[in-house]
Chain A
Amino acid sequence: MSESGVIHDIGYQRYTGPRLGPGHSARALYVHSVRSAYGLGRSPWAKVLPIGLIGLASLASLIIVIINSQLPEPVLDQVGIASTFTFAAAVFVAVVAPELVSVDLRTNLVQLYLSRPLSRSSYALTKVAALATATFLLFAAPMLIMFIGMAFSTDDGVPGVLEEFGALLLGLLAAAVHAVLLAALGLPIASLSGRRVFATGMIIGVFLLTAPISAVLSELDSGTIGRLAGVLDPASLLNGVDQWLFDADVSLVSIGSFGPVYGLVTVALAVLGTMAAVWRYKGMKS
C-alpha cells in the first residue's frame, strides 16, 4: 500500500497491523452514515423520527394497496408513490441531512475525518451517497409493500405477479432519481451550518418556498413560462421527470412537451449540488 505522506501515529496507541486504505475508510463512513441516518446504533430517541417517517410512508402505502385492490382501476401506482411522497422525503432529508453533516461540524469531528487518509472530496461524496441511500430506502419500503400487496391480490397468476414486478422496478428507478436529487440538494445546504436548527430550516425553506413560486408562475401564464415554471421547485421538477420518463398518473405540473428540459435540469441540479458539497469541504480548515 503506497501511503507515504500519511501520518498514522498521532500520539495514541501504536498500531502495527495492516492498513486498509482510503477506500475502506470511505466505505466505513458510508455504512456508519446510512446507519446513523436511521438512528441505528443510537439512542431510541434518535430512531423515533426517521423510523416513524418510514413507518408512516409504509402505512400510507398499505392503505393505498387496500383501496387499489377494491377498485377496478388502481388509484396510485408505484411511480405515483414516488411523486406523491416527495414532500415526505423532503422532510426526511431536512431532518437527516443535518444529522449527517452538521453534527460533525459542530463537534469539530470533521477535522478529525479530514486529517486522516480519507480525502475531502470523498468525505463529501460519501455523505451525499449515504443521504441518497437513506432517502431511497424511504421510497423503497412503501413500494415493496405495495408490490407484495398487489402481487397477492392479482387475478392473473404468475404473469400478473411479473407485471407487478416490472412496475416495482420502474418505481424503484423513479425513487432513485428522486433520492439522488433530494440528497444532492439537501446535503450542501446542511453543510453550511453547524446548528441543526438552521440547517433544517434552510433545507425545508428551499422546498417550501419554491413550491408557491412555481405555482404562481404556472397560474399566471399558460404558455411556455407556465409549462417551465415547474423546474423552479424540486417537487414539481421531480414530478415532471416522472411524467416524462415513467408516464406518471399523478400530475402536479403540466409539462407539455418540455419533458427533456425537466430531465436536463434534474441532472444539472444533481451534479451542481454534489459539486457544491465537494467544494464546501475543499476549502475547509482542518
Chain B
Amino acid sequence: MNPTIIRLTARALLGRRRVLLLLPMPIVLIGLTLLGVSSEDEYVTPSDWGPLVFSNLGLAVILPLTALIVGSSVLGLEIDDGTITHLITKPLPRSEIILSKLLVAWLVTTGATALPLAVAAVIAGSGTLAVGLVVGTALGALAYSALFLALSVMAKRPVAVGLIYIVLWENLLVSFVDGARVFSIRQHATTIADAIGDTPLISSTLSVPTALIMVSVFVVAGTVGATRRLRSFALTGEAN
C-alpha cells in the first residue's frame, strides 16, 4: 500500500462534481423502504417487498453499479488521461499500485452501498439484517472491485464488459442456468447477508462456504491478474 497513491486516487474520485452521481441510488433505496414500511395494506407482508428492495435493488443494482463505476475508474481514468505513465515510471512494485487502487475502490464502494443498506435495514426493523447486509456488501464490494479493476487494465472497454457481466450473466443467465450462480458475486453477497441476517426480508440459494471461497477466488484472481497485466502494460493511446 502506498499512502500517496491512495490519497491521489481518493481525491480524483471524490473531489469532483461527478461523485454526486452516487447519490440518487441510496435515496431511492431508503425511500422505497419507507414506502414499504408505511404500507397499510394487510395483504402486503415484509417478505413481499423485502427481497425486492434489499436483494433486487440493493445487492443486484446499487452494489454492482457503484462498484462498476468506482472500480473501473480508479485505474481506468488514469489510463484514459495518460497519467498512468507517471504512475508506472515510479520505482514502485506494481502490486503496490494495484493494492492501493483496490483499497480505495473497496472503501468507496462499501461506504456508498453498505451504509444506506444498513440504514434501510434498520428502518425495516431488523438489526441483524443490517449487520448481515454490511458484511455481505463489504465482501461483495471487494470481489466486484477486484474484478472491475482487473477488467480496466485488461479490456479495451472495461465498463461495457463489466456491464454485460452484470446484466447478462448475473441477471439473465443466472435465472435460466442454475450453475451460473456460482460465479455471480451478487449471489455471494446475498448468501452472506442472508446467513447473518436470517430474516424473511432476503433469501438466498448458495451455501455460505461456497460463497466465501468464490469471493476469495474473485479477489485473488482479480488482484493477481491486474498486477501481472500492469507489469507488461503497453500504452496504446486513446482507446477508440
Per-residue 0/1 for A195-210: is the Cβ within 8 Å of any B Cβ (1 yes, 0 no)? 1111011101100110
Q: A91's closest neighbor in chain B, by CB?
A: B167
Distance between Cα atoms of A46 and B238 in the complex (Å): 13
CB contacts under 8 Å to A, within B1-53, are: 18, 21, 24-25, 28, 32, 35-36, 39, 41, 43-44, 48-49, 52-53
A12 in the interface (beta carbon within 8 A): no
Using C-beta atoms within 8 Å of the partner chain, give the interface range for chain A: 35 or more
Quick one: which of A45, A56, A216 has the most chain B CB within 10 A?
A216
Residue in A53, A196, A197, A220 whose CB lies within 8 Å of B35 = A220
- Measured CB to CB, the closest approach of chain B to A186, in angstroms, equals 13
Per-residue 0/1 for A55-94: is the Cβ within 8 Å of any B Cβ (1 yes, 0 no)? 0100000000000000000000000000000011011001
B157 in the interface (beta carbon within 8 A): yes
Residues of B within 8 A of A91 (CB): 163-164, 167-168
Q: A207's closest neighbor in chain B, by CB?
A: B167
Residue in A107, A200, A215 whose CB lies within 8 Å of B160 = A200
Query: Is the Cβ of B18 less than 8 Å from the Cβ of A198?
Result: yes
- Measured CB to CB, the closest approach of chain A to B144, in angstroms, equals 14
Known contacts A95-B163, A197-B77, A219-B44; is-contact A205 B53 (Cβ 8 Å) = no
Residue in A42, A45, A49, A205 whose CB lies within 8 Å of B25 = A205
Distance between Cα atoms of A46 and B43 in the complex (Å): 51
A212 in the interface (beta carbon within 8 A): yes
CB contacts under 8 Å to B, within A13-59, are: 42, 45-46, 49, 53, 56
- Measured CB to CB, the closest approach of chain B to A5, in angstroms, equals 33
Residues of A within 8 A of B28 (CB): 209, 213
B80 in the interface (beta carbon within 8 A): yes
B212 in the interface (beta carbon within 8 A): no
Residues of B within 8 A of A211 (CB): 56, 61
Query: Is the Cβ of A219 less than 8 Å from the Cβ of B65?
Result: no
- Measured CB to CB, the closest approach of chain B to A273, in angstroms, equals 18
Interface of B is mostly: helix
Query: Is the Cβ of A212 less than 8 Å from the Cβ of B57?
Result: yes
B172 in the interface (beta carbon within 8 A): yes
Quick one: which of B39, B49, B160, B167 has the most chain A CB within 10 A?
B160
The 3 closest A-B pairs by CB, nearest first: A212-B57, A95-B160, A201-B69
State the B residues within 8 Å of A (CB): 18, 21, 24-25, 28, 32, 35-36, 39, 41, 43-44, 48-49, 52-53, 56-57, 61-62, 65, 68-69, 72-73, 76-77, 80, 156-157, 159-161, 163-164, 167-168, 171-172, 238, 240
Task: Provide a sorted-by-A list of 11 A–B residue pairs whose CB atoms are within 8 angstroms.
Answer: A88-B167, A91-B168, A95-B160, A195-B80, A197-B73, A205-B65, A208-B61, A209-B25, A209-B28, A213-B57, A216-B52
State the A residues within 8 Å of B (CB): 42, 45-46, 49, 53, 56, 87-88, 90-91, 94-95, 103, 107, 193, 195-198, 200-202, 204-205, 208-209, 211-213, 215-217, 219-222
Known contacts A94-B163, A209-B62, A215-B52, then 10 further A-B pairs from the complex at CB < 8 Å, ordered by chain A residue: A49-B157, A95-B160, A200-B163, A201-B69, A205-B65, A209-B65, A211-B56, A212-B57, A215-B56, A217-B35
